């Protein structure tokens, strides 16, 4: 009797285990897809707009397409998480944009094979407002200021401020020009701190600048800015960060502006903190017509620039205004430049408009300079996610 009793217990355990195994094997869920319980503005992908308030974490579902029908405002203490492979399509025109306010954070983290894509089904430059990050890092426009997009405050004293991360992100058909003083870019960085991570980001087919820095200390790497109708890479208001690996190309028909447009402060050329970034490993390709300057440095900006390929510009490096000219002219701050199909390698002009001679050691040439990594060709790091 005792042995039979033990056999019955063993049989019961075997049946229960088999049932559990069978139940698991019949589970149709794919564990490789993140499980998302939508909250807040993520609940209706067909009408994606509104606020992400303090204390709320909104995570998007990468298996869905989100229609950006208006403004998304990530408030102080709010977080928006956008997993790899997520696609957001702006359908609300220039009233559609995403703004990260001071203290808010965005985490849009794709992969080389599965980037996060912000685009518009209209496939026309200027179809929506783009991405805007507003941080608490220093600017020289004042202690704080108001961003052109979304009227959000930016600026402060926190050099290490953290607005989140953007990795393997492509922004298409963004940017809009309302007035001379109010413009949307593909990616606008207002007083963003160096605690923010921005790597492998492409700005494509925009109607204004690809990427613009308004002060701040944020560092960026692996930036693609192509076919935008204004400048590829722009800074002002005291940006002090680093940019490593930049590949920029203007449209073949000449539409577009400069490779770099660099300012300190147009109202006070010596305003502090002074724009003084480090630019390393960059390629800027122009066209046979259109804007003349590959790199325009003016109104008091400083910078250190190394390993640059400039191709297809009338003037490679154009320096303007006393403070900028006095810093760069003969200063050796621009090194290892390869000029390809450039009419005038460098020029300089003072506040009065008087042209001055560009001195020796203003720049050094290197015919072997690789720029972004592959000369005038697309760099290997841009493959598979940037549209190059």
* pLDDT, average across residues 108-135: 97
**What is the pLDDT of the chain when averaged over all its residues?**
90
> Which among 279, 287, 201, 191 has a CA at the least distance from the CA of 239?
191
Task: Please check the confidence at residue 231 and state whether its pLDDT lies above 70.
Answer: yes
CB proximity list for 345: less than 8 A, separation 6 or greater: 315, 316, 317, 339, 358, 363
Q: What does the alpha-carbon distance between residue 61 and residue 78 come to, in Å, rounded to a whole number? A: 18
**pLDDT on residue 180:** 60
Q: What does the alpha-carbon distance between residue 231 and residue 251 come to, in Å, rounded to a whole number? A: 12
CB atoms near residue 24 (< 10 Å): 8
Q: What length does the chain have?
A: 388
Place of tokens 């890479």: 233
* pLDDT, average across residues 269-289: 94
> Which among 54, 42, 152 has a CA at the least distance from the CA of 100?
152
* pLDDT, average across residues 45-73: 98
Domains defined for the chain, CATH in brackets: 44-379 (2.160.20)
Residue 4: pLDDT band by 50, 70, 90 thresholds? Answer: very low
> Which among 202, 200, 221 has a CA at the least distance from the CA of 210?
202
**pLDDT on residue 5:** 43
**pLDDT on residue 23:** 37
Residue 35: pLDDT band by 50, 70, 90 thresholds? Answer: low
- pLDDT tens profile 325-369: 999 999 999 999 999 999 999 999 999 999 999 999 999 999 999
Q: What percent of the chain has pLDDT over 70?
A: 89
Q: What does the alpha-carbon distance between residue 202 and residue 388 come to, in Å, rounded to a whole number? A: 9
Task: Please check the confidence at residue 24 and state whether its pLDDT lies above 80.
Answer: no
DSSP-assigned letters across all residues of 236-296? ESS---EEEEEEEE--TTS-S--SEEE-S-SS-TT-SSPP--EEEEEEEE--SSS--EEEE
Phi, psi of 355 (to 5 degrees): -80, 140
More reliable by pLDDT, 177 or 215: 215
CB-side exposure of 261: number of CA atoms within 13 Å? 20
Q: What does the alpha-carbon distance between residue 163 and residue 78 come to, in Å, rounded to a whole number? A: 11
- pLDDT tens profile 75-108: 999 999 999 999 999 999 999 999 999 999 999 9
* pLDDT, average across residues 183-210: 96
Three-state DSSP class for 355? Answer: strand
């Amino acid at each position: 009797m005792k042995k039979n009793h033990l056999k019955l217990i063993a049989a019961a355990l075997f049946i229960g285990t088999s049932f559990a195994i069978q139940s698991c094997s019949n589970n149709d869920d794919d564990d490789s897809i993140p499980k998302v319980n939508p909250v807040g503005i993520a609940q209706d992908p067909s009408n994606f707009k509104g606020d992400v308030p303090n204390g709320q974490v909104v995570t998007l579902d990468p298996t869905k397409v989100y229609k950006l029908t208006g403004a998304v405002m990530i408030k102080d203490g709010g977080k928006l998480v956008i997993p790899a492979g997520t696609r957001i399509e702006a359908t609300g025109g220039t009233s559609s944009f995403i703004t990260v306010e001071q203290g808010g954070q965005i985490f849009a983290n794709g992969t080389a094979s599965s980037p996060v894509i912000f685009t518009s089904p209209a496939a026309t430059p200027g179809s929506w407002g783009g991405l805007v990050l507003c941080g608490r890092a220093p600017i020289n426009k004042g202690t704080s200021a108001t961003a052109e997009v979304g009227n959000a405050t930016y600026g402060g004293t926190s050099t290490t401020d953290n607005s989140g991360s953007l990795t393997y992100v492509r922004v298409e058909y963004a940017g809009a020009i309302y007035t001379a003083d109010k413009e949307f870019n593909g990616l606008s960085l207002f007083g963003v701190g160096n605690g923010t991570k921005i790597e492998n980001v492409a700005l494509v087919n925009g109607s204004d600048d690809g990427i613009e820095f308004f002060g701040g200390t944020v560092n960026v790497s692996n930036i693609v800015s192509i076919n935008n109708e204004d400048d590829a890479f722009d800074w002002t208001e005291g940006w002090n960060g680093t940019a490593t690996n930049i590949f920029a190309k203007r449209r073949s028909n000449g539409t577009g502006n400069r490779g770099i447009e660099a300012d300190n402060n147009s109202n006070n050329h010596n305003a502090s903190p002074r724009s003084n970034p480090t630019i390393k490993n960059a390629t800027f390709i122009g066209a046979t017509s259109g804007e003349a300057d590959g790199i325009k440095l003016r109104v008091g900006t400083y910078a250190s620039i190394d390993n640059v390929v400039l191709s297809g510009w009338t003037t490679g490096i154009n320096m303007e205004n006393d403070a900028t000219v006095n810093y760069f002219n003969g200063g050796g701050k621009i090194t290892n430049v390869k000029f390809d199909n450039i009419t005038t390698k460098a020029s300089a002009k003072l506040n009065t408009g008087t042209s001055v001679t560009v001195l020796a050691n203003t720049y050094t040439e290197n015919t072997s300079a690789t720029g972004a990594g592959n000369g005038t060709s697309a760099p290997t790091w841009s493959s598979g996610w940037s549209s190059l």
